[in-house]
Chains A and B, each alone.
Chain A
Amino acid sequence: MKRNHLVLILVVVVLALMVWTGVDNYRRRKAEQANLRQMQAILTPAAPASSADATAPPEEEEKSPLEGKAAPGFALEDLQGQKVSLASYKGKAVLVNFMATWCAPCKIETPWLIQLRNQYGPQGFEILGISTDDLDKDDKKKMAEDKADIAKFVNNMHIDYPVLIDGDSISHPYGGVDALPSSFFVDRSGKVIAATVGLHDRSELEANIKKALASGGA
């Protein structure tokens, strides 16, 4: 009789284990599907290579979860070693533009950004370029070389707005910044009113800048 009980307990335990693994597997598959959907969302903005054209209307882009929310604050060093914070630009419309020296589409939009800043700067518009280039923080000499490479890029591209380094350290609150260029348009009150991933038409950049300038004023 005792053995029967033991066997019965064993059967119950094994059945419980099976149910648990089944539930766990279901949860895991759900999580994987969610991850896949996220990846697809990241890749969606890209048009097929054969038909892509920067002047063509961009495909429907998934709205950034940051839109309508306060832009995550940050304070990063510029190339001269000065700390620059987003908070210090309150009252201005700011384009937080994640870029890198190795990013070809970033090179295309940079001259547009310079022109747009010249055009809308007097109305209270500023750009903060956020370099996501790797910095070797363990090796001072190598880090100095990394900074020099960014400075050279800034010089060659005639960038006259602040370029801040170590952008990877703030990418998480901005949604991970998996693709470049990534732009966040912040209004005068510090709220993100639009976000774009990848190279977009100059006119779209301009429209978002106008929107940021018009929003959040006193």
Chain B
Amino acid sequence: MRRMMYAVLASALCMSFQCAVSQKLAWQNDAQAKPNEHQFVQFLYPEQVKLAAGKSTVVELHFRVNDGLHINSHTPTAKSFIPTQLLVGEPSGVNVAAVDFPPGTDYSPAFSPNDKLSVYTGEFVLRAHITAQPGDHLIQAALRYQACDANSCYPPKNAKVAFDIVAK
């Protein structure tokens, strides 16, 4: 009887552990997942970058705009349009000297075929010039963008960007 109880207890503990690993529990914070749920742009990669310490290195940051949407480029065609920007928090020991943005693609909205907007669609890449001191560093940044589809525009949003730098 005792052996059977231990066996039941052991399997129940195993199953509950598996359960806890494979799903979110009530006390786990949803805050980390939610911002991405409503984002129209996703940061794709890298997750980790290895570079030579003390030497300026170009790090390519890949993003993707959701299908059917476009965002203003870094240099929109009108001053009132909100440009795409990268807001970088530099940890100590890391310097982001510059970020190169790709040129936008010309886009004429169906509702205004004579107008030309400068936009990013699909995948696009930013090139950050980074110098890091020896060690591991976490870079946290945000891509600020303003998205539209064929008929509507959405308020500006910040997409989280985070990656590790290993400088040797």
Contacts and interface: CB of A to CB of B under 8 A. Distances in A.
Nearest to A8: B5
Q: Which of B148, B152, B154 has its CB near the most chain A CB atoms (within 10 A)?
A: B152
A8 B6 CA distance: 9
Q: Which of A15, A106, A149 has its CB near the most chain B CB atoms (within 10 A)?
A: A15
B155 A178 contact: yes
A34 interface: no
A7 B150 contact: no
Contact of A21 (B20, B117, B151): B20
A180 B16 contact: no
B17 to A, nearest CB: 10
A20 to B, nearest CB: 8
The size bracket of the interface on B is 35 or more
Contacts, number: 121
Interface in B107-133: 109-112, 115, 117
Contacts of B151: 45-47, 52, 54, 58, 105, 198-200
Nearest to B30: A28
A53 B110 contact: yes
Interface string B38-74: 1000000000000000000000000000001010000
Nearest to A26: B23
Chain B, interface SS category: loop
Interface in A85-117: 100-108
Nearest to A29: B23
A197 B148 CA distance: 13
A179 B24 contact: no
Interface stretch (B7-15, B90-98, B160-168): B7-15
Interface residues of A, number: 49
B23 A21 contact: yes
Interface of B: 1-2, 5-6, 8-9, 12-13, 15-16, 19-20, 23-26, 37-38, 68, 70, 80-82, 109-112, 115, 117, 146, 148-156
Given A8-B5, A21-B16, A198-B151, 16 more contacts: A18-B16, A46-B150, A47-B151, A48-B68, A48-B150, A54-B111, A104-B115, A104-B148, A104-B153, A108-B111, A132-B155, A178-B154, A179-B152, A180-B154, A199-B111, A199-B152
